[in-house]
Structure 1
Amino acid sequence: MTDFAIRPAQACDPTDRAALERLFLLFRHDMTAFSGELPRPDGAFRADWLHAVLADDPAWAAYLFHLGEHPVGFAFVRNLTGPGPIILNSFFLVNAARRRGYGLAAALDVVRRRPGTWEVAFQDANTAASAFWPRLAQAAGGDGWVLEHRPAPRPQMPPNAWISFTVPAATL
């Protein structure tokens, strides 16, 4: 994994912006398998989260994942200005980078940058996410994680599964 890197994305950098926009479309496409959401008439997907990240909203942060020179994924984090838990809002790796350990490495890197209480939502039908997020919660915070179901923000969707865990501050 020596050529795998995780770094904060810069919304003002045209290269980062373009990578986030393109990867976000792939992410939204992947999520249609679980949400049933179709693109709008212009072919675009709802992009509220992307717009918040690209607007440099202080409550949001974005991270880009690279394999060498290739952008292969991202994480969007929200609720950075509190109160309440930090939310790992969106997380994506291109198919060619999956199941090689990069996802867990990236997710751990992102959550360990900000000790505290974290939450991640996913759909039970997404079996890969249902297996992945408990592994992250265990690796990041130990046995104290909790899984619960909450109504989805749009009534046509099934309830979301939410994992909550606490990332301890680094000890010296």
Structure 2
Amino acid sequence: MEVELAAVAEADKPVLANLLQLYQYDFSEIRELDLTPHGTFTYSYLDAYFTEPGREAYFVTVDGKLAGFTLLRSDVDSTGSWNIAEFFVVRRYRRRGIARRAAKLVFARHPGKWTLSFDHNNAPAEALWRAVVTEVATGGITETERPPPIPGTRLGFTA
């Protein structure tokens, strides 16, 4: 299976918005997200990925088929690091190594400092990120606890 990242063009923003609904649906049992009166979830930062510098959106594809997305931000903490803001692979492609391969492609796009966070209530994400970061980190890995309302862990490393 060939895993690739494809930059999301502004014309494809509705496709990304659809995938964000699936992503937030999955997250709704972890973060208790509520639906709007229209039966959708709200993602406040979608437009920023098409208007603000230092933000990048990519589709994850498998053999040319849409399989997920990732959203990246640069310089989140004024250290010049990149941050994985969101990362999603649809259920059909989970547990096949697709997320791991896509994540490695993400880190290869911007060699250098990275941060990423995961929720304590999301055990599959924690296992994925700890494994991938261990594989790609070229030095030490820092770990910081993120306090409520969304308790989790933030990893810092160089890839």
The TM-score, its normalising length taken from structure 2, stands at 0.89
Structure 1, 42-51 or 55-64: larger mean CA deviation? 42-51
Give the conservation status (yes or no) of the 8 Å contact 1:120–1:164.
yes
Secondary structure in 1 aligned to 2:40?
coil
Tell me whether 1:23 sits opposite 2:15 in the alignment. Answer: no
The Cα shift of 1:19 comes to 2.0
Q: Give the one of 129, 132, 136 matched to 2:132.
A: 136
Structure 2 distance, partners of 1:63, 1:123, is: 22
Tell me whether 1:166 sits opposite 2:133 in the alignment. Answer: no
Tell me whether 1:75 sits opposite 2:70 in the alignment. Answer: yes
The TM-score, its normalising length taken from structure 1, stands at 0.83
The Cα shift of 1:49 comes to 2.5
Q: Give the one of 127, 144, 151 matched to 1:148.
A: 144
Q: Give the one of 52, 61, 66 matched to 2:56.
A: 61
Q: How do 1:106-117 residues align onto structure 2 when only pairs under 5 Å count? A: 106-117=102-113
Match of 1:86 in 2: 82
Structure 1 residue runs of 5 or longer lacking an equivalent are: 168-172
Give the conservation status (yes or no) of the 8 Å contact 1:76–1:89.
yes
Give the conservation status (yes or no) of the 8 Å contact 1:112–1:140.
no
The Cα shift of 1:41 comes to 2.2
Percent of aligned positions that are identical: 27
